[in-house]
């Protein structure tokens, strides 16, 4: 069996970034990246382009890529961020995309099984079409309410609306792969309530019972409860900017499989997520790290109009 047939997600990655024979690819990993997945990707990229290089990022997230990697990025056409945790908010990622016109995408904490089935194996033309249509449910200045039967009760005012489709084949494009979500920037100080995370959380991974409860006032975390409380408390103590509520997100990829990674969890149609910390991508001013937590079976209401009911689509 050919490697691309065995791992159809690799074919989708090639299609999504529009990789051409004469182009070059840089893969950025860390010491905890899945070596089997990286080996498969390296083989596939090598068969489809002129040059593939792999460089290693620090295990601990820093404000930006190390200097040598910042320079190397300029030399490649396509850059894949494949570390075990997200570097998406690094200023040099934004520079690569917007200043240098690179196609740069992130597939953090990628596992070999994700190349076999699930969100990476979706038809991304369909994902893009659905996501762009679903985006029409959300408008700037609208009030959004999120609730679950596990205790989530959250209200915010939308400031910006973004879609992530997975189609990154033009210069200066990029995002996540797997893809499929609506991302909402929120007005400063507008987020109020509490969120009960029951699926997964960056730097924690799978969440155990009792779920992680985060209490929010005026757009900032004021208390944390639950089994993983100490981990999140320590992260916030190390960087108080993580108190900031940066984003609300809704998954739009029906092929995503829950339980394999935070990134795939948050793309699953019917899940929602909350982002903490860096909000510069969403039009804010808070820099530093950005981490997400994922919630199952939420009800989403926008200006009193239901969009999701217990995780089930009401308005497409």
Q: Please, where are the H alpha helices in 74-175?
A: 91-94, 124-134
Report pLDDT digits (tens) over 175-200. 999 999 999 999 999 999 999 999 99
Q: Judge if 111 and 127 occupy the same domain.
A: no
* Predicted pLDDT of residue 298: 97
Report pLDDT digits (tens) over 79-117. 999 999 999 999 999 999 999 999 999 999 999 999 999
Q: Judge if 105 and 176 occupy the same domain.
A: no
* Predicted pLDDT of residue 245: 98
The alpha carbon of residue 298 and the mean position of all alpha carbons in its chain are separated, in whole angstroms, by 18
Q: Judge if 88 and 180 occupy the same domain.
A: no
Q: Considering 73, 98, 116, which residue would you say is the last residue of a domain?
A: 116
Q: Considering 82, 116, 150, which residue would you say is the last residue of a domain?
A: 116
Rg (CA), the chain: 19
Q: Which domain holds residue 238?
A: 123-313
Residue 285 CB neighbours (<10 A) = 9
Tokens of 291: 């981490």
Q: Judge if 112 and 216 occupy the same domain.
A: no
Q: Judge if 252 and 162 occupy the same domain.
A: yes
Measuring CA to CA, which residue among 122, 126, 74, 106 is closest to residue 174? Answer: 106
Query: At 157, is the secondary structure helix, strand, or coil?
Result: strand
CATH code of the domain containing 87: 3.40.50.2300
Report the DSSP pairing between strands 103-106 and 78-81: parallel
Q: Judge if 92 and 206 occupy the same domain.
A: no
* Predicted pLDDT of residue 2: 76
Number of structural domains (the chain) is 2
Q: Judge if 31 and 140 occupy the same domain.
A: no
Q: Judge if 128 and 276 occupy the same domain.
A: yes
Tokens of 80: 């894949």
Low-confidence ranges of the chain (pLDDT < 50): none
Q: Judge if 41 and 129 occupy the same domain.
A: no
Sheet of strand 24-29: strand arrangement = 51-56, 24-29, 78-81, 103-106
Tokens of 301: 């209401």
185 phi-psi bin (left φ>0, alpha ψ -120 to 50, beta other): beta
* Predicted pLDDT of residue 199: 97
Kind and range of the H or E element at 251? Answer: strand 245-251
Q: Judge if 194 and 287 occupy the same domain.
A: yes
Asked if 288 and 89 touch (Cβ cutoff 8 Å), the reply is: yes
* Predicted pLDDT of residue 296: 97
* Predicted pLDDT of residue 316: 67
Query: At 66, is the secondary structure helix, strand, or coil?
Result: coil
Tokens of 56: 């290693």
State the residue for tokens 């959250």.
Answer: 154
Q: Judge if 241 and 277 occupy the same domain.
A: yes
Q: Judge if 291 and 255 occupy the same domain.
A: yes
pTM: 0.95
Q: Considering 87, 116, 145, which residue would you say is the last residue of a domain?
A: 116
* Predicted pLDDT of residue 1: 55
């Amino acid at each position: 069996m050919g490697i691309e047939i065995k791992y159809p997600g690799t074919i989708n990655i090639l299609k999504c970034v529009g990789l051409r024979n004469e182009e070059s690819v840089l893969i950025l990993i860390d010491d905890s990246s899945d070596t089997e997945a990286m080996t498969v990707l390296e083989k596939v990229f090598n068969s489809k382009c002129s040059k593939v290089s792999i460089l290693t990022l620090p295990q601990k997230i820093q404000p930006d890529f190390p200097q040598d990697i910042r320079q190397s990025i300029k030399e490649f056409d396509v850059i894949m961020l494949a570390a075990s945790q997200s570097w998406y908010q690094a200023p040099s990622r934004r520079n690569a995309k917007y200043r240098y016109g690179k196609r740069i995408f992130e597939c953090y904490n990628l596992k070999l099984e994700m190349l076999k089935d699930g969100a990476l194996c979706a038809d991304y033309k369909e994902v893009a079409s659905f996501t762009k249509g679903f985006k029409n449910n959300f408008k700037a200045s609208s009030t959004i309410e999120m609730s679950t039967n596990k205790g989530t009760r959250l209200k915010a005012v939308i400031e910006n609306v973004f879609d992530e489709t997975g189609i990154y084949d033009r210069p200066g494009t990029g995002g996540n792969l797997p893809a499929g979500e609506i991302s909402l920037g929120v007005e400063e100080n507008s987020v109020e309530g509490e969120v009960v995370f029951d699926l997964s959380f960056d730097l924690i991974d799978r969440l155990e019972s009792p779920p992680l409860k985060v209490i929010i006032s005026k757009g900032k975390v004021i208390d944390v409860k639950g089994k993983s409380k100490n981990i999140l408390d320590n992260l916030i103590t190390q960087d108080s900017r993580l108190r900031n509520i940066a984003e609300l997100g809704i998954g739009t990829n029906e092929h995503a499989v829950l339980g394999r990674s935070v990134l795939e969890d948050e793309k699953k149609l019917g899940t929602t997520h909350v982002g903490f910390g860096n909000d510069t991508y969403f039009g804010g001013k808070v820099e530093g790290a950005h981490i997400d937590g994922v919630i199952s079976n939420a009800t989403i209401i926008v200006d009193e109009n239901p969009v999701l009911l217990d995780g089930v689509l009401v308005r497409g």
